[in-house]
Amino acid sequence: MIAVYTITSGLHDESVVSRFTDEFLKSVFPKGGYEFRGADFSDFGTHSLDLIYVRTGGAEGIFKSLLPEMLSRGISSYYLLTSGRSNSLAASLEILSYLRQQGLKGEILHGTPAYLRQRVQLLDKVASARTKLQGARIGVIGQPSDWLIASHADSVAVMDKLGARIVEIPMEELLQEIAVAKADKMPDDTPMKTDVRAAYPGATQIYHALEVLVRRHELSAFTLRCFDLLSSVGNTGCLALAKFNSAGIPASCEGDVPALLSMMISQALVGRTGFQANPSRIEENGEMLFAHCTVPFNLVRKWQFDTHFESGIGLGIHGELPQGSVTVFKVDGKLERKFIAEGELVYNQYEDNLCRTQVVLKLKPEDARYFLTNPIGNHHIVLPGRHKALLEALL
């Protein structure tokens, strides 16, 4: 819920200010959807988004007197809603300057009603996403794969910046659960190769074993050192990861925690984790091929089972994503660096010398160049839609 608080100079006629306040807030919130708290700041900081409407000039001292109590609640960022009347903007400029001098964050929300509606909606989505991430428990099942030499995470930074905790779970615990997990039968009407059909029950055992670990450790998300399963149980985690991601529980491959953090942010902001994939080819014009052996079912328009690419065993997923706008996204393990680029998914393809789900994207050449000059690891997240503004606002 969005809450609106007000600060007002006593020099102004309250009846006039109140009348304009009602008109102004109706223009910003034509459908309601906010709680008007007025000058009562007793619960400031408890809503998804708290706005301070600076109604008049001369209110700067009032804000300064309120600030110590707000700071005592751990609030370090402030949104000042302003109008074009009664020196509202001028007072907000002074308040924001004061906040900056104190090393605090803030933003003045000022402009047309259409702009303010758009900006407030974006900030509310970001605030709601931060609330979802706060307190999350991130399972690392096994260590990151040996080849991910640049894809580890800083647990202190993850706690400080997202409020999420990393929980390390030994691979042996998963293997014990796989050994006793139930196996589902493949539906008879699902066409596929004989070897893939034979792998299906084992793939479902991995899924059910992971269900146990998610419940036991109260995980909000997890990453899996999945290649170890090829030698230990002769199967893959591809089906399991596809199902968990589709159900809204971010799950990344190969123990890649930065990729998982990116998927968690995507899920919290837009309700989908995205497609974790490797760039496989890059053209000078910005056209890029991304591929991986699993994909969330809720991202694809159709899919079929196949073998795992590198090993030729187990179960992988060949999915086709819809054409249209996409966002390519990645954060590093300290949440200090980010890459966000919007582009177009131009077509899907299938070559037998690559991971099973393969999409060709068109990015700006300068964005594609990033992968060859300063990448954040190999895995990146392909998210349908244009979400750059949302992601940048959160990060």
Enter the pTM of the model: 0.90
Query: What's the pLDDT score for residue 80?
Result: 98
332: helix, strand or coil: coil
Count of helix runs (H) and strand runs (E) in the chain: 12, 17
**Which residue has better confidence, 213 or 10?**
213
Contact 272, 295 (CB under 8 A): no
Q: Average pLDDT, stretch 266-270?
A: 96
Contact 356, 317 (CB under 8 A): yes
Residue with tokens 């890459």: 339
Please enumerate in sequence order all residues whose Cβ is within 8 A of that of 207, keeping only pairs 6 or more positions apart, or say none: 239, 240, 243, 244
288: helix, strand or coil: strand
Task: Provide the CB-side half-sphere exposure for 140 (13 A, CA).
Answer: 19
- Residue 43: C-alpha distances to residues 5, 47, 69, 82, 228 (Å): 10, 8, 11, 21, 50
User: Which residue in 216, 273, 274, 255 sits closest to 333, CA to CA?
Assistant: 255
**pLDDT tens-place string over residues 16-71:** 788 889 999 999 999 889 999 999 999 999 998 999 999 999 999 999 999 999 99
**264 burial level (CB within 10 Å; 0-12, 13-18, 19+):** buried
Query: What's the pLDDT score for residue 285?
Result: 96
- Please report which confidence band the pLDDT of residue 309 belongs to, taking 50, 70 and 90 as the band edges: confident
**pLDDT tens-place string over residues 88-138:** 999 999 999 999 999 999 999 999 999 999 999 999 999 999 999 999 999
- Please report which confidence band the pLDDT of residue 154 belongs to, taking 50, 70 and 90 as the band edges: confident
Per-residue pLDDT for 308 more than 90?
A: no
- Please report which confidence band the pLDDT of residue 150 belongs to, taking 50, 70 and 90 as the band edges: low
Per-residue pLDDT for 196 more than 90?
A: no
Domain boundary assignment for the chain: 2-133, 137-394
Min mean pLDDT across 83-87, 125-129, 136-140, 142-146 is at 142-146
Per-residue pLDDT for 147 more than 80?
A: no
Task: Please name the amino acid found at residue 77.
Answer: S
Per-residue pLDDT for 195 more than 80?
A: no
**pLDDT tens-place string over residues 276-299:** 999 999 999 999 999 999 999 999
Quote the CA–CA distance of 156 and 334 in Å, as a whole number: 8
- Please report which confidence band the pLDDT of residue 191 belongs to, taking 50, 70 and 90 as the band edges: low
Note the helical H segments in 84-154: 88-101, 113-133
Contact 244, 210 (CB under 8 A): yes
Identify the CATH assignment for 2-133 out of 3.40.50.10940, 3.90.1140.10, 3.90.1300.10, 3.40.109.10. Answer: 3.40.50.10940
Whole-number percent of the chain with pLDDT over 90 = 81
Per-residue pLDDT for 15 more than 80?
A: no
